[in-house]
Amino acid sequence: MTDMTLERPVATIRHPDLSEKRLKRRYAAELRFKLYGILALAIAGGMLALLLVSIVSKGYTAFWRTEITLNVHLDPAELDPANLATANYQALIRSSLLTLLPEVESRGDRRALSELVSGDAAIELQRLVQADPSLIGQTIEFTAATSDDVDMLEKGYISRDAAEGDRQLSDRQIAWFDQLSEQGIIGTALNTPFLTSGDSREPELAGIWGAVVGSFYTMMVTLLLAFPLAVATAIYLEEFATRNRWTDIIEVNINNLAAVPSIVFGLLGLAIFLGFFGLPRSAPLVGGMVLALIVLPTIIIATRAALKAVPPSIREAAYGIGASRMQVVFHHVLPLAMPGILTGTIIGMAHALGETAPLLMIGMVAFIVDIPAGPLDAATALPVQIFMWSDIPERGFVEKTSAAIMVLLAFLVIMNAVAIMLRRHFERRW
């Protein structure tokens, strides 16, 4: 009978204190890293919130304006139906004001009183009479914008407690304003001209619609030029081109172009599109061509990434059923990559929408009042409009600048939200 001995396990020496210390140090390091991340997010969120609060607090008042409603008598002695363009409409408005404040008698006081009404009120009255000459001889209710200074007083940006020499309105004008407000003549209303009219040198009349239309035409030209060219380039490089020195050089240059400052593209547009080809200056067509050069690398890189994300099994299955290379790419791979392509395109277009420097170089900084009717008409863009208004010291343009920034941010948020929705709707998980 064989004596079998049981093998005893070798006793291991444990150091519970040392292992617990290491475990605590590891957990503490992970906790610190998490806290650093939360702190970074909190700082970034706080700075973003501070920026948005600053913009909104300065610009939300631009969405309404102060208006004055007058009973204007269209005196036939002042209005000649045969020559309505040269009539003194300002005198008609001044007369309606004097009927409300008969104590104003001197010439200087009358001039100061007429300054409470916007300088464009006479032009609006002229358009009204020219559109319907049958109004001559009647007393009509006419609503016009007040001057910028009165608007700022109503919104609280001009302090009544300041010395008379330190504010734009005199004590008499403020007293007249109070009397008219008590009579219900002056009130506030939605500032629709801000959203429906073009630029003006008067803050109370300036609008963003001309810049919005200019941006629309510019973005359409950018999309029509950049999207097909970028997608075709990405498809060729990813699916058809052979790997050699030339394709490597092209890929390196595409990646480098994505980091080139946008003003360089503006100089290129100034020298080539305007100087060499002689295209119209300040036109959305030229702006769209310049911005197309800027967004091309972004769309190409996004398209190539979307094509790479399609599983190889899709290609193999298509080849297995006898599809040609062209059919594999355009019937199977491209439709599956389209969500990523569209997302990259929208992000690139959002980047182009906020560009200012290249548009300044091609002359889209000009003062343009009329709404552009097409991509060949002189126009400006919303970021350029913001840039021009920010350089004007009048308080009325300060709120208009902030309000225009709010509109631009709204467009950018909408475009990015559409990109996220497209990705979630068309995305497939493999």
CA–CA gap between residue 379 and residue 386 (Å, rounded)? 14
Report the C-alpha gap between 214 and 287 in whole angstroms.
Answer: 10
Q: Take residue 44 and report the two structure tokens written for it.
A: 């970034």
Compute the chain's Rg from CA coordinates.
33
Taking the C-alpha atoms of residue 254 and residue 51, their distance in angstroms, rounded to an integer, is 34
| Residue 429's pLDDT band (cuts 50, 70, 90) | low
Q: Is the pLDDT reported for residue 105 higher than 50?
A: yes
Mean pLDDT (whole number) for 297-326: 91
Give pLDDT tens digits for 386-415.
999 988 888 889 999 999 999 999 998 888
Can you tell me which residue has the tokens 């239309």? 213
Q: Is domain 209-426 in CATH 1.10.1530.10, yes or no?
A: no
pLDDT of residue 109: 87
Contacts of 357 (CB under 8 A, 6+ apart): 261, 262, 263, 266
pLDDT, the chain, mean = 88
pTM, entire model: 0.85
Percent of the chain with pLDDT over 90: 45
Question: What separation in angstroms does the CA of 425 have from each of 51, 259, 340, 349?
Answer: 32, 31, 11, 20
Task: List pLDDT tens digits, range 251-289.
Answer: 888 988 888 889 999 999 999 999 899 898 889 999 999
DSSP 347-366: HHHHHHHT--HHHHHTTTTS
Exposure letters 126-151 (e unless 16+ CB within 10 A, then b): beebeeeeebbeeeeebebbbbbbbb
The sheet with strand 186-190 has its strands ordered as 139-145, 64-73, 186-190
Q: State mean pLDDT over 23-35.
A: 89
Residue 362 confidence (pLDDT) above 50: yes
pLDDT at position 15 is 60
CA distance 128 to 70: 14
Inform me whether the pLDDT recorded for 175 exceeds 60: yes
pLDDT of res. 86: 83
pLDDT of 213 above 90:
yes
Find all residues with CB under 8 Å of 80, minimum gap 6, and list them.
87
- Binned at pLDDT 50, 70 and 90, residue 158 comes out as confident
Per domain, the residue ranges of the chain are: 65-190, 209-426
Q: How far is CA 400 from the centre of its chain?
A: 13
HEC letters along 212-258: HHHHHHHHHHHHHHHHHHHHHHHHHHHHHCCCCHHHHHHHHHHHHHC
The pLDDT, as a whole number, for residue 1 is: 45
Q: Residue 107: its pLDDT value, please?
A: 86
Strands (E), 91-193: 139-145, 186-190
What span, in angstroms and rounded, lies between the C-alpha atoms of 360 and 109? 44
Number of continuous H segments (helices) and E segments (strands) in the chain:
17, 3
- CB–CB of 219/288 below 8 Å? yes
The tokens for 224 are 């029509």
CB 136 within 8 A of CB 74: yes
> What's the CA gap between 226 and 165, in Å, rounded?
56
Pairing of strands 64-73, 186-190: antiparallel
